[in-house]
Amino acid sequence: MNLSSLRLDSNLKWSHRPAHHGLNLSCRRNVVSWSSIKPPASASLSVAESVTSDSPSRIDSLSQVSGVLGSQWGDEGKGKLVDILAQHFDIVARCQGGANAGHTIYNSEGKKFALHLVPSGILNEDTLCVIGNGVVVHLPGLFEEIDGLETNGVSCKGRILVSDRAHLLFDFHQEIDGLREAELAKSFIGTTKRGIGPCYSSKMIRNGIRVCDLRYMDTFPQKLDVLLSDAASRFKSFKYGPEMLKEEVERYKRFAERLEPFVTDTVHFMNESISNKKKILVEGGQATMLDIDFGTYPFVTSSSPSAGGICIGLGIAPRAVGDLIGVVKAYTSRVGSGPFPTEILGQEGDLLRFAGQEFGTTTGRPRRCGWLDVVALKYVCQINGFSSLNLTKLDVLSEFSEIQIGVSYKQIDGTLIESFPGDLCLLEELKVEYEILPGWKCDISSIRNYADLPKAAQQYVERIEELVGVPIHYIGVGPGRDALIYK
């Protein structure tokens, strides 16, 4: 395409700020000043008073840099735990993924918020939220999310930092995502069609556009033309011409102006925060069974939602990362295609789906549901080195008179498989061995002390701990902030 035909005002420049954003200095035109941040534990945002008395000490003892990661195929309820823990941390940071992550949380009045890019610490007014370099950022979606939060009384001003190294996800990435899925036909991945894969593909083949590129509107059109031309050459149904480029550049000039106060060298900021003893909570998107390396490839996401993604996606050293909490449902669900060893089909699966309201936060798609898979969970715990687990949605299992746990895999010939296999052909043929435990058939959603749970529910929790070898410190019994038992 001849770019000389485009007459665009390229005067938009972001002023260059000093490289140092120390915590005692203002950051990005006083977006953040640590001296003005209040103590993290705001009384007005405390979790329900009915939680057990040892919960604050357990939370306060978490490492300076701690993380909350998904332990299945996503949708485990990470956002709620992050929201609860955030009041004890100075910073909540996203390290990977994009708007394909859907975190549903509730404020102290019970108002529901569905977040996709903004970290789940945003409801705690003293928490600073960081979108790290490993995240792919769809600016229209980010601004829509911020506007929705502001409309509902959640102030975002000066509370969100976006990495200048983060890659931009464009609308055309979303269109390409859909075209790619259609091309795969029966072998489709089952993506959210939010453009995540195509954006990461652009990043990996080194023609992606980063947030810092918005500083230079004189070269931005050429970079965007390369991306759009590449898409047009790959997909015949993708229509691209000079007018599309012009409109998109003008649109991103406006986005750049609005984004400017948020943009920060977050790698420097995060490391300065660590040096200044600020407490940091990392919020993972998706989950380890969707990890590009460790998940059920190719039916995975395009980033690393396991522990390794923290260092890569935020630019912090492995030695800085301490406690990691794995979030796991009391059963299993997954969205999209791919093997699912403990999946329940038919009426029982429908019962679990509707009891747990298993419909995607991002897409609204019904999730596939099944019994808890301990083989997969142990595999995930080994990869991440979790210090503890958060078992969510235990209340949903109240619908069942007996509950099954997938405890081992066997091949057709009876050979025991000792770990979760990477070979999908083997995975699809294996047989799951189940252990059956009694149900409790009563509502536990109002219980806040572990000792008050029915004995069968306690037995279920403790059997999981025994099988996996990781303690369960948090138990979710409902969607609300206060619906949490500390064990």
Whether 476 has a binding-site annotation, put simply, is: yes
Are 344 and 370 contacting, i.e. CB atoms less than 8 angstroms apart? Answer: yes
Angle in degrees, CA 190, 205, 102, rounded to 5: 35
Whether 67 has a binding-site annotation, put simply, is: no
Residues 425-455: b if buried by 16+ CB within 10 A, e if exposed: eebeebebebeebebbeeebeebbeeeebbe
Whether 219 has a binding-site annotation, put simply, is: no
- Residue 389 Cα distances to 149, 321, 381, 485, angstroms: 29, 17, 9, 12
Whether 74 has a binding-site annotation, put simply, is: yes
- Residue 390 Cα distances to 70, 252, 432, 464, 475, angstroms: 10, 40, 24, 12, 6
Whether 360 has a binding-site annotation, put simply, is: no
Catalytic position from the list 103, 193, 378, 473: 103
Whether 319 has a binding-site annotation, put simply, is: no
Whether 478 has a binding-site annotation, put simply, is: yes
Neighbours of 239 (CB within 10 A): 9
Q: Known catalytic residue: 413?
A: no
Whether 361 has a binding-site annotation, put simply, is: yes
Q: Known catalytic residue: 75?
A: yes
Find all residues with CB under 8 Å of 143, minimum gap 6, and list them: 255, 258
Whether 134 has a binding-site annotation, put simply, is: no
Whether 104 has a binding-site annotation, put simply, is: yes
Q: Known catalytic residue: 171?
A: no
CB-neighbour burial class of residue 170 (10 A; exposed 0-12, middle 13-18, buried 19+): buried
In whole angstroms, give the CA distance from residue 188 to residue 181. Answer: 5
Catalytic position from the list 75, 90, 265, 291: 75
In whole angstroms, give the CA distance from residue 161 to residue 50. Answer: 34
Catalytic position from the list 21, 173, 193, 203: 203
Whether 367 has a binding-site annotation, put simply, is: yes
Whether 393 has a binding-site annotation, put simply, is: yes
Q: What are phi and psi of 112, to 5 degrees?
A: -90, 135
Q: What is the distance in angstroms between the CA of the first residue and the CA of the last residue of the chain?
A: 62
Whether 178 has a binding-site annotation, put simply, is: no
Whether 77 has a binding-site annotation, put simply, is: yes
Neighbours of 125 (CB within 10 A): 14
Neighbours of 387 (CB within 10 A): 17
Whether 365 has a binding-site annotation, put simply, is: yes
Whether 190 has a binding-site annotation, put simply, is: no
Neighbours of 337 (CB within 10 A): 18
**Residues annotated within a binding site:** 74-80, 100-104, 192, 206, 286, 301, 361-367, 393-395, 476-478
**Residues annotated within a binding site for GTP:** 74-80, 102-104, 367, 393-395, 476-478
What are the catalytic residues?
A: 75, 103, 203
**Residues annotated within a binding site for IMP:** 75-78, 100-103, 192, 206, 286, 301, 365
**Residues annotated within a binding site for substrate:** 361-367
**Residues annotated within a binding site for Mg(2+):** 75, 102
